[in-house]
Chain A
Amino acid sequence: MSMVNTSFALAGVEFKNRVLVASGTFGYGDECLDLVDVNTLGGIITKSLSLNPRDGNPPVRIVETPCGMLNSIGLANIGVDKFVSEKLPFLRTVDTVVIANIAASTIDEYCEVLAILESHDGVDGYEINVSCPNVKDGGLSFGTNLDLTQEITRRLRSMTRRPLIIKLTPNVAYISEFARAVEDAGADAVSVINTIIGMAVDVKQRKALLPTVTGGLSGPAIKPVALAKVYEASRAVKIPVLGIGGIMTTEDAIEFLMVGAAAVQVGTANFIDPGAGTKIAHGIRRFCEDQHLEDVGSLVGCLEAEVDASVLHSWL
């Protein structure tokens, strides 16, 4: 029996380990039960939920790129009411933390969705998507505006005691400013990073491969960028940073912990192997056993060779 402590707590909620599955990469948690024991995950973050169901964008929604993929899903989801009636009953039965991800096009809409979820059991916390690059209204226009991001956080904070996590976009000059702004507004954690805006071109047709022209880049291609953003954000705030971006292996996840992530989210890897998150959670425990570490938490921010913040900013 392993003696490694893998758990961590966020705003009073206990996670059994530091590996969650990222929003939009694990559906509503009930799609892959044949393949994955979801109870071995630290947590499930749902597909973004909006007030009304959203059809999403027309095809083509996904383009593969070297070591990565561009997506332009357009927040296709069943809407919060159907989530409550059709998905929550299952999610109440799982033995892992359930975080509802919320997307909206106005501040009031974020509040309405959260209010509906707040009135039901089964949701342990919220992750707020202020950074979807693929919808015309809302989405990224919030996430790149410091005042709006802070205002959304403040309003939602006043409505809930459940953990409130803000998912930040890397498509800004200094992600640390956004992390600090939402910390000041009462957020319990930040998720770093959402996808990076990218595009791909069909040279024969002289057209972008995505009908929306640009999409969100994810996968191993973005890991170095994500690590740098987690490093920057985690040095700017005291609240935990959940690291995301191209985590495919145990070693990738440990890199994120070492640069300052308190926990990680596995995203695109789920598309190739829905069991990726559980394998990584297991792998982190094994790594700690091999290194004779008692607590996975001792890896968090353990990176040696600190540089001061002024040097950090001069890189960017």
Chain B
Amino acid sequence: MIQELCGVQEVCEVAESIYVLKFVSEGISKSVCAGQFVNIKTENSFIPLLRRPFSVYRTEGESVEIIFNVIGRGSAALQRKRAGEMLDVLGPLGSPFTIHRSDFETAVLVGGGLGVAPLPILTQFLKRARKDILTILGARTARRLVDTHLEQVHVSTDDGSRGFHGTVVDLAKRLLQNHTVKNPKIFGCGPTPMLRALGVFAIEHDIPSEFSLEGPMGCGVGICQGCPVELVHGDKKYALMCTDGPTFDIHSIRI
């Protein structure tokens, strides 16, 4: 975990109102694992007061990328950043996806909306681990799809403007019920209702699954106790999204 002032390299609109911000941090780029996040102070003021967590989207050399849409003050500030400006970044944080296991051969990456965020870096790691990859993406419309830096992509849109007309979970069910997918494990990320539906399907079909959750955090490092995730069993009622997560085995949490 390091905290440093990082130079912004660029901010690009990669789909309608969706941006990728690239900054330089050799330390984070070299140490981050798929599924981890960075916590960014978006403005040098007390509004907004807290940092904002972003999954690492991709790394390239000494550069790190995050992806976001503009939903509030913090993300609006990021969208206005220009090359050369400095960004106070803390990371890499959180527990990564578990990929070096022999309990699967095909990684099935399922991303709803901005749930695509951790999938490109996950793809980088999975390729290194020589796993087969199948990617299933969903978006409201084709204009909001971000499908670069991924492998074997299948697409769904809510309005049918591209690919399968329906939800990403419905598409995932179709593809997974087709038995050509060998020994799958689902890596899911997206809105909670989507993950809930995907989780029900995965448990019914006994497919190992790990989800990356998103939610408000205070500190990102486990000191504020502000981001509880309800656990299903064990002696603790809650885990912390920031340190125990953001990735969780679906059997361990109630979402």
Contacts and interface: CB of A to CB of B under 8 A. Distances in A.
A34 B2 contact: yes
B3 A67 contact: no
A259 interface: no
B224 A25 contact: yes
Given A55-B236, A56-B238, A272-B41, A71 B218 contact: yes
Contacts of B236: 55
Contact of A73 (B46, B49, B222, B225): B225
Interface in B209-237: 215-219, 221-230, 236-237
Contacts of A268: 49
A32 interface: yes
Interface residues of A, number: 36
B49 A71 contact: no
A71 B46 contact: no
B32 to A, nearest CB: 14
A24 B217 CA distance: 15
A69 B224 CA distance: 11
A27 B223 CA distance: 5
A59 B215 contact: yes
A264 to B, nearest CB: 18
Interface in A75-109: 76
Contacts of B185: none
A292 to B, nearest CB: 31
Interface in B28-77: 41, 46-51
Interface residues of B, number: 30
A55 B224 contact: no
Contacts of A32: 1, 221, 223
B46 A67 contact: yes
Contacts of B90: 35
A302 B227 CA distance: 41
A64 B73 CA distance: 11
A66 interface: yes
Interface in A260-316: 268, 270-275
A266 to B, nearest CB: 12
9 closest A-B pairs (Cβ-Cβ)? A62-B226, A55-B237, A271-B219, A27-B223, A34-B1, A67-B46, A62-B218, A76-B225, A61-B226
Interface of B: 1-3, 41, 46-51, 90, 215-219, 221-230, 236-238, 243
Given A64-B48, A273-B3, 6 more contacts: A27-B222, A55-B236, A56-B238, A220-B49, A272-B41, A274-B3
